Structure 1
């Protein structure tokens, strides 16, 4: 019998809820709302959509995740990392300056497609797809995304707009706008003020809601300083009430752009959700249920798409705010959704005087939090190859755009895995003074070698991609090592041998036998050795040439040859 509570965790939350948790969840929900409203509006505009859609999206995704999401504390909503991706899809399909209604419809279709992909991935237990973005490529991608967002918001912060698409075009338009004297001084002042408040409080008083304070002070400054008369654009009154239920519709010609965008957004959402869920689960002692997380965030996207919403993801910053405010369950998110709904129903004019440069400051502050320059520095110090991967991912996003950038990031991650399999680390081993066991002679150059014996370690599964690399290295030893009798492969790192590698091993062993050299294996895992037997390689490779340890192989060689160690 299917346990419906496993697929609908909200039932478990209701049946196990303790009344003592309610005060904390209520307070945390109200505190969370102060962040959800301005960020939701700002990230909607970042995606090229009306600000109000950010609130619609926040309401529905919070309610849906409360029903289908497994985490007691994660908070979903419009996200700064998804905004540029959504904007790219809208521009790619509708072009710049599209009708807002058409943009909302297409964004809803994108949310529906993304949600369906996430739900299907969750049902199929494909959480491992999050691993397609390695840490170095994530760092490079997010840094490129941060720069793209920052440059795209600078004109709005300075009080004007540009028509360029992409980082280079937007940067050029921004510089030209400054040169042409388009700066609105009052807009720049209020925008920089909001940015200083948000960033300053984040650094020195992280528990204080800097976004809320910046929004409230900016709204208060509008009538006091007459900012609207000074050319500062305002949000204006929001539509009153709730959007009608609308089935997302799109034309067949849009399917290609939507599918590409949905795949990219799905991967980013999945990576963000798994990493954020893991981080907070470790702090609260909960278990991460990756497949159900995908179902939960997928349901959130689907629900939002039917009410003029757009794709959403997990937010680390909003989750942290909820946790700090004392949130115990997803009731916190429900309280936030209800509070936003009440705002739309009874006080839609409350944010009328919110300056657009302040929203730009909110987005820029989020972009700065995405950037991770210390991680780039760390990669440079620790491993230059992975630093190069991060730089390539950064340039892919910055130069080619967000969607191509994530494609490059995924491609680089996969190629890096393949590179490690293709050219794995290889080492000749020797006996180092004062250290037990056998070690890499490149690390211990004074390590002893035994005449006629070569100890070799190959740090990868032996498969079609690297079998010939293994063969060529062994052939090189046979050609260059004087009076070689045994080549002992320290096979502990070899976790697999496929049929292609088996054929190569058979050919190689016959070739070595003709030269009077024995191919010997030590520390081979039992499952790998079973495959060797199944491939019938023991007809060629002497079954006695498999030893449980390298020490046993060395002892057998010494017994047969009488050889002793020397330098």
Structure 2
């Protein structure tokens, strides 16, 4: 029996909506996409866990239940959830501040971080507060990801070289690497260079080569996506055959075999206090990255996602990871694109991917003992270098110097101080720039374009003006930060015009007037009245008029409110004395 569920239920649990129309064709497409993504995700999950300073198996654990929960609660048909490079780096930074890498306390802190991140995302989704992520501008995010990609790549050079190195920013990492150059393990270096070069070639050159040799494009794509697994298999086999671990080649070592364990986050107030700020940053960065990918992929198939429900999906995924030995996850760009290109029809593709990773956890982990850490480092380097994009500096320099300053500050702070300080600096500077801009709104003296009823900036157009009338157009809502600026500008303009009889405040772009701005308008009205100048308003929007009518502002206004600027000019010059109308 086909039971019609209330929209509120299907909106909160999307699988109840798309699951009812699931068919054999969708199952086939989702299964194939899952195979491809699973092949890609196995080495990535291991690598990102090591990047986070965690045991390799935690990368796989973080890719099982979280994916299933997102498939139930998420709205994107193609988003592939799991560990990603930037969030892994932020996890290492946050957890490294309170515990030593490799200790039980470190692992517990990572699990707790996932739980806190999940709670924060879930709360934002339930209360529909996804708009808060808009405070992270795209240029700041692009700058942060670029700088983070450089730090991640630099942090993996120690595994490529087979040396010990540490640091929380690029400068510290490079200095530490330079100090240990004399300790290079040349066998490890050969493995690392081979793996890196091969992975770069596989990413760009293998698919065209296979197609040129006559292989079908779909099969060639699968083979190319399997390249990282082949590199893992080859380097692991060589390390085992020649016992390279006895010559200083560091391997992953023993990886527990079996189902993800049942774990629980810490409820220590001290740990929560230490991690909550990092959890908020990780949540917002992860959500912005995830929802931008999800929206892009959905648009290609004329589908839509619900950002607030995405918050719930990602929140549940992180909470699920915290109880199954995982750490913070989000939607990954590369694997989501692969999932989409492979033909994923529904979120069930993610659930099938989780099943594949579960099989890997049950049966393949013993084979990973001799996997060189240099191979995983190469996997990370190849993945993150695609995130590095300095073109954002050129674009912002050409378009907006303020955005350029925000991007530059984000990149420099991230590279020289650390990831959390970097993104915080970028967000703070973006907000300060916005406040500065809105505190000095664009204001233009306007005049009439000859032969029309249009009024334009006197500095940009040939217009008709009248010495007795000053019309000032304000292109910003009026609030406490710019109210005094409006007063000062109008007083200065009035002082320069001895013949002035009327001031018209033209308000087509004013969407709101707060209490501080209202007091400034009252002050302007009284000041002009004392000078024998009438104060008028034109083209005031309906919602603004409604609010102004709630007080006695119009009872004291020594001028009028006009529906249009042209009506105001006609009424105040030689036109008929029309009754003003409210917008």
Shorter-chain TM-score: what band? over 0.9
Question: In structure 2, do the counterparts of structure 1 residues 83 and 556 end up closer, same or farther at CA, with 3 Å as the change threshold?
Answer: same
Among 485, 504, 515, the alignment partner of 1:499 is 515
Deviation at 1:222, TM superposition (A): 3.6
Once the two structures are superposed, residues 194-224 of structure 1 have per-residue CA deviations (whole angstroms, 9 ceiling, x without a partner) of 3333334444567432533443443355457
CA RMSD between the two structures: 2.4
Residues 1:384 and 2:387 are matched in the alignment: no
TM-score of the two chains, using structure 1 as the length reference: 0.92
Which residue of structure 1 lines up, in the alignment, with residue 183 of structure 2?
182
Q: Which moved more, 1:216-225 or 1:456-465?
A: 216-225
Q: Which moved more, 1:226-235 or 1:8-17?
A: 226-235
Among 549, 562, 565, the alignment partner of 1:547 is 562
Deviation at 1:377, TM superposition (A): 1.0
Among 488, 501, 517, the alignment partner of 2:533 is 517
Residues 1:483 and 2:499 are matched in the alignment: yes
Deviation at 1:250, TM superposition (A): 4.8
Among 539, 542, 545, the alignment partner of 1:529 is 545
Among 93, 99, 107, the alignment partner of 2:98 is 93
Residue pair 1:130, 1:274 contacting (<8 A) in 2 also = no
Residue pair 2:14, 2:75 contacting (<8 A) in 1 also = yes
Question: In structure 2, do the counterparts of structure 1 residues 556 and 66 end up closer, same or farther at CA, with 3 Å as the change threshold?
Answer: same
Once the two structures are superposed, residues 86-123 of structure 1 have per-residue CA deviations (whole angstroms, 9 ceiling, x without a partner) of 1112111114x451x32221111111111111111111
**Take 1:554 and 1:524, find their aligned partners in 2: how far apart are those partners?**
15
Deviation at 1:51, TM superposition (A): 1.0
Question: In structure 2, do the counterparts of structure 1 residues 245 and 451 end up closer, same or farther at CA, with 3 Å as the change threshold?
Answer: same
2:144 is paired with a residue whose SS is: helix
Deviation at 1:252, TM superposition (A): 2.8
Residue pair 1:236, 1:349 contacting (<8 A) in 2 also = no
**Take 2:530 and 2:418, find their aligned partners in 1: how far apart are those partners?**
57
Residues 1:105 and 2:104 are matched in the alignment: no
Which residue of structure 2 lines up, in the alignment, with residue 559 of structure 1?
574
Q: Which moved more, 1:383-392 or 1:352-361?
A: 352-361
Question: In structure 2, do the counterparts of structure 1 residues 78 and 535 end up closer, same or farther at CA, with 3 Å as the change threshold?
Answer: same
Which residue of structure 2 lines up, in the alignment, with residue 467 of structure 1?
483
Residue pair 2:260, 2:325 contacting (<8 A) in 1 also = yes
Among 30, 36, 43, the alignment partner of 2:48 is 43
**Take 2:201 and 2:7, find their aligned partners in 1: how far apart are those partners?**
51
Question: In structure 2, do the counterparts of structure 1 residues 517 and 204 end up closer, same or farther at CA, with 3 Å as the change threshold?
Answer: farther
Which residue of structure 2 lines up, in the alignment, with residue 406 of structure 1?
423
Among 422, 426, 438, the alignment partner of 2:439 is 422
How do 1:186-201 and structure 2 match up within 5 A? 186-201=187-202
Among 454, 457, 477, the alignment partner of 2:473 is 457
Residue pair 2:525, 2:558 contacting (<8 A) in 1 also = no
Which residue of structure 2 lines up, in the alignment, with residue 139 of structure 1?
142
Once the two structures are superposed, residues 245-269 of structure 1 have per-residue CA deviations (whole angstroms, 9 ceiling, x without a partner) of 1222253322211111111111112
Which residue of structure 1 lines up, in the alignment, with residue 229 of structure 2?
212
Deviation at 1:472, TM superposition (A): 0.4
Residue pair 1:234, 1:356 contacting (<8 A) in 2 also = yes
TM-score of the two chains, using structure 2 as the length reference: 0.90
1:370 is paired with a residue whose SS is: coil
**Take 1:549 and 1:509, find their aligned partners in 2: how far apart are those partners?**
20
Structure 2, gaps ≥5 residues long? 1-5, 208-220, 578-583
2:366 is paired with a residue whose SS is: coil
Once the two structures are superposed, residues 483-508 of structure 1 have per-residue CA deviations (whole angstroms, 9 ceiling, x without a partner) of 22222222111111112211111121
How many residues are matched? 556
Deviation at 1:329, TM superposition (A): 1.5
1:461 is paired with a residue whose SS is: coil
**Take 1:515 and 1:292, find their aligned partners in 2: how far apart are those partners?**
57
Structure 1, gaps ≥5 residues long? 563-567
Residue pair 2:74, 2:313 contacting (<8 A) in 1 also = yes
Once the two structures are superposed, residues 372-417 of structure 1 have per-residue CA deviations (whole angstroms, 9 ceiling, x without a partner) of 2112210111111110011112222222322222222222232233
